[in-house]
Amino acid sequence: MASNTGKRQHIAIVGGGAAGMACAATLAQHPDKFEITLIEKEAVVGGQATSIDLDNQQHGASWMNNGVQGGSAIFKHTFMFFQKYGYPAQEVRLQVSFGKGKDRFWTNCFPSPLVKQFDSDIKRFGTFLKVIKWSLPVLGIIPISVMLKVFFFSKDFGDKMVYPLIALFLGTGNQTASVPSGIVERLFNDPNMKLWDYDSATLLPNLPTMYTFGKLHDFYSKWREDLTSKGVSFVMETEVHRTVSRSKNNVILELRNTRSKEERQETFDKVVFCSLADETLRILGKSATWREKFVLGGATFYDDITVTHTDNRYFNEHYETHFKSELCAEPTTEAQRKQIAFANPPVSDPDTGFRPMYYTYTYENNPKLIEMSFNCTNYQHQFRQNETSNEAVSKPVYQTIFLNKQQRDLWTIGQIDEGQIIKKNWWHQLGHRWLHYLRVVPNMMFIQGRNSTYFAGSWTLVNMHEVACVSGIAAAYHIGADYDKFDKFATDFFSKYLLLSHGLIFSRQEKKRRQS
C-alpha cells in the first residue's frame, strides 16, 4: 500500500489498453499521492479496442469498431467509463447463426432440427452445470472435452453446439476443447461473469440483450485527453525495451522510441504491467523471479487474423444468413410459433426478421475447430440507426476471424475476394486452456506487489473488456488509490477479482483505510 510520507509516488503504467487506462484513471483521482506515466508503443491508446473508417455512402455508416465488438449487462465498469465521456452503450438483441446446412445449423432465434435432435443432451447439460458448480474447484479444472465424455454426452452435441457456443462468446478460439469445465459453468451461472442464462430447451436463450459500443477510437481519445488534463503523462510510440533493475524501493526501465529508436532509462517507484503476459516476461527479462516465470509463463497466446470485408458471396457460402423453411423445425409451443413469426415476418421490418450478428463455420475434418464471423451491419448500432426501410445498405460489412496461424492450412481466407477486403488485423490472443486456470489465475496474488511490480489485463482471468478494466482498477487500489462504489453489482465483481488476483479482502482493506 502507499505510504503517507507526503512524497508523491511515481507510477509507470506499461500499456494503454483498457487495463492501463482504467489503472491511470483510478490513480489520477489522487494527484497529491501519485505521479503517473503511461507508456504506450502505439500512437493511440485503446489496445485492441480500435475503430475503422468507412465510406458512409457505400456502407451506411462512417465507422465501425474493430477488435472489440460489444458486451453484456455485466460490463458495469466499462459502461461507467463510456457514459462518463458521452459514449453510452447501445442495447441490441443478440441473434446467432451456428453452422451451415440442416445437419449443423442452429440458432437462438427459432427452433431448428439440430436443437430437436439434441433435446435430451441440452436438458442434461443443466444437470452437468450443477454438478460442476458443486464440485468446484476439483472437477472445474478438467477440460470440457473430457467432462463431456465423462457425462456421456454425444460427440456431435459437443462438436456442433457446445464448442461453437463457448468459442464464439468466450473468445477461446480453437482451444475450446481444452477450456476448463469450471469456466464453462461460470459462463452460465456466475452473476459476475455470465453472458446469458442457460436455457433447458435451446441451450442459448432467445434474443438475449447485448450491448454495442460507441466509436472506440473517439472514446479512448477523449479519455486520454481528460486524463492528460488531470496530470497523467502519456509517453506514446515508446516501448519498454527492458527492465534494468527492480527492488522494494524502485524500478528502473529502459525505454525505446519506436520511430527514432532512441533509448533512455527512467526510474519509477512502482510499475504496473498492463501488457500481455508473454510480452511482460520479455520486458522483465533476467529480472523475472521464478514465481513470475511460473505464473506468467502459464498463459498461452495464439496469433489470429481478422479480415474486414464486403464479400457477400463468401459469407453466404459459408454461413446461414437468411431464414429458410428447411432450417426450421415444426413448432410445438406458442413461444416457438412467435419466434418463427419474428424470424420470418410477412413484410420487411427493420426491427424483426432473422438478421444474425454472430456466425460460426466448422471444419468438416476437425469439427472441434472453427472460423467465426460478424455481420457488423446487423450488429453495430450505428448501421441500424442510419438504416431506412426504403433503402437497404448496398455493401454490408463483415468480419471473419481465422484462428491460430499454426493451423492456417485449414483456413478459408483465400476464398475471400481480395478486391472486397477493407482491412486485415493480426491479434495476439489468449488461449483459455486448463493450464491457465491452474498456473495463472490462482497464483496471480503471489506475484502482485513484489519488487514494486503489479500486473493487470484481461489475461489475468478471462478475455473480456470488463475484466481488463477491473484488473487495472484493482492494481491501482492495491497501490493505494480508492475504489468508487457506484454500483452494487460492480462492487461485488471488483471485490471478487481483488481477492482472486491480489489476495486482498475488500471489506477489510476499507476498514483499515478508514482507521488510518
| Same domain assignment for residues 323 and 401 | yes
Of 377, 396, 431, which marks where a domain is finished? 431
What are the tens digits of pLDDT across the range 18-43? 999 999 999 999 999 999 999 999 99
Distance CA(273)–CA(414), nearest Å, equals 37
The grid coordinates of residue 280 equal 511482460
Q: What is the mean pLDDT of residues 108-124?
A: 94
| Same domain assignment for residues 200 and 225 | no
| Same domain assignment for residues 192 and 335 | yes
Distance CA(98)–CA(317), nearest Å, equals 14
| Same domain assignment for residues 413 and 384 | yes
The mean pLDDT value of the chain amounts to 92
Which of 212, 199, 235 has the alpha carbon at shortest distance from 43? 235
With pLDDT > 70 as the criterion, what percentage of the chain qualifies? 95
Q: Is 488 a member of any domain?
A: yes
Q: What is the mean pLDDT of residues 144-172?
A: 88
In this model, does residue 173 exceed pLDDT 80? no
**Pair 174, 404: CB distance under 8 Å:** yes
| Same domain assignment for residues 453 and 355 | no
Distance CA(140)–CA(144), nearest Å, equals 9
DSSP states of 5-30: SSPPEEEEEE--SHHHHHHHHHHTT-
| Same domain assignment for residues 312 and 376 | yes
Distance CA(433)–CA(463), nearest Å, equals 12
| pLDDT confidence band for 3 (50 / 70 / 90) | very low
What are the tens digits of pLDDT across the range 212-241? 999 999 999 999 999 999 999 999 999 999
Rg (CA), the chain: 23
| pLDDT confidence band for 193 (50 / 70 / 90) | confident
Range name among 5-9, 308-312, 327-331, 351-355 with the lowest pLDDT average:
5-9
What are the tens digits of pLDDT across the range 279-321? 999 999 999 999 999 999 999 999 999 999 999 999 999 999 9
pLDDT at 300: 93
| pLDDT confidence band for 172 (50 / 70 / 90) | low
The grid coordinates of residue 346 equal 410477412
Q: How many domains does the chain have?
A: 2
Distance CA(168)–CA(146), nearest Å, equals 20
Q: Is 60 a member of any domain?
A: no
Q: Is 413 a member of any domain?
A: yes
What are the tens digits of pLDDT across the range 444-474? 999 999 999 999 999 999 889 999 999 999 9
| Same domain assignment for residues 134 and 236 | no
Which of 151, 155, 162 has the alpha carbon at shortest distance from 188? 162
In this model, does residue 105 exceed pLDDT 80? yes
Q: What is the mean pLDDT of residues 249-266?
A: 97
Whole-number Cα distances in Å, 181 to 122, 336, 347: 16, 30, 44
In the beta sheet, which residues pair with residue 344? Answer: none
What are the tens digits of pLDDT across the range 359-405? 999 998 888 888 999 999 999 999 876 655 445 556 899 999 999 89
pLDDT at 2: 46
Q: Is 2 a member of any domain?
A: no
| Same domain assignment for residues 393 and 356 | yes
| Same domain assignment for residues 261 and 307 | no
Q: What is the mean pLDDT of residues 146-155?
A: 94
Q: What is the mean pLDDT of residues 99-112?
A: 93
Range name among 70-74, 155-159, 376-380, 488-492 with the lowest pLDDT average:
70-74
**Pair 403, 369: CB distance under 8 Å:** yes
Q: What is the mean pLDDT of residues 100-105?
A: 92
3-state secondary structure 386-425: HCECCECCCCCCEEEEECCHHHHHHCCHHHCCHHHEEEEE
**Pair 299, 462: CB distance under 8 Å:** no
Which residues are CB-contacts of 390 (< 8 A; sequence separation ≥ 6)?
none
pLDDT at 87: 96
In this model, does residue 5 exceed pLDDT 60? no
Q: In degrees rounded to 5, what are phi and psi of residue 22?
A: -65, -35
**Pair 8, 33: CB distance under 8 Å:** yes
Q: What is the mean pLDDT of residues 134-161?
A: 91
| Same domain assignment for residues 208 and 344 | yes
Q: Which amino acid is at 317?
A: E
Q: What is the mean pLDDT of residues 269-279?
A: 98
Which residues are CB-contacts of 162 (< 8 A; sequence separation ≥ 6)?
125, 144, 148, 153, 184
**Pair 66, 425: CB distance under 8 Å:** yes
Which of 160, 114, 107, 122 has the alpha carbon at shortest distance from 343? 107
| Same domain assignment for residues 238 and 196 | no
**Residue 441 half-sphere exposure toward CB, CA atoms < 13 A:** 21
| pLDDT confidence band for 84 (50 / 70 / 90) | very high
Q: Is 62 a member of any domain?
A: no
Q: Is 439 a member of any domain?
A: no
What are the tens digits of pLDDT across the range 340-364? 999 999 876 767 899 999 999 999 8
Q: Is 180 a member of any domain?
A: yes
| Same domain assignment for residues 105 and 187 | yes
Distance CA(51)–CA(210), nearest Å, equals 19
The H or E element spanning position 307 is: strand 300-309
Q: What is the mean pLDDT of residues 44-58?
A: 94
Distance CA(178)–CA(142), nearest Å, equals 8
Q: Is 63 a member of any domain?
A: no
**Assign residue 274 a region: left if phi > 0, alpha if psi is -120 to 50, beta otherwise?**
alpha
**Are β-strands 358-363 and 96-98 bridged in parallel, bridged antiparallel, or unpaired?**
parallel
What's the domain range around 321? 72-212+302-431
In 10 A of CB 19, how many CB atoms? 31
Which residues are CB-contacts of 512 (< 8 A; sequence separation ≥ 6)?
none
CATH number for position 227: 3.50.50.60
The grid coordinates of residue 326 equal 428447411
Of 405, 431, 457, which marks where a domain is finished? 431
Helix (H) and strand (E) counts in the chain:
19, 20
- Write down the residue that cell numbers 498456473 correspond to: 439
pLDDT at 387: 58
Of 431, 463, 483, which marks where a domain is finished? 431
In this model, does residue 1 exceed pLDDT 60? no
With pLDDT > 90 as the criterion, what percentage of the chain qualifies? 77
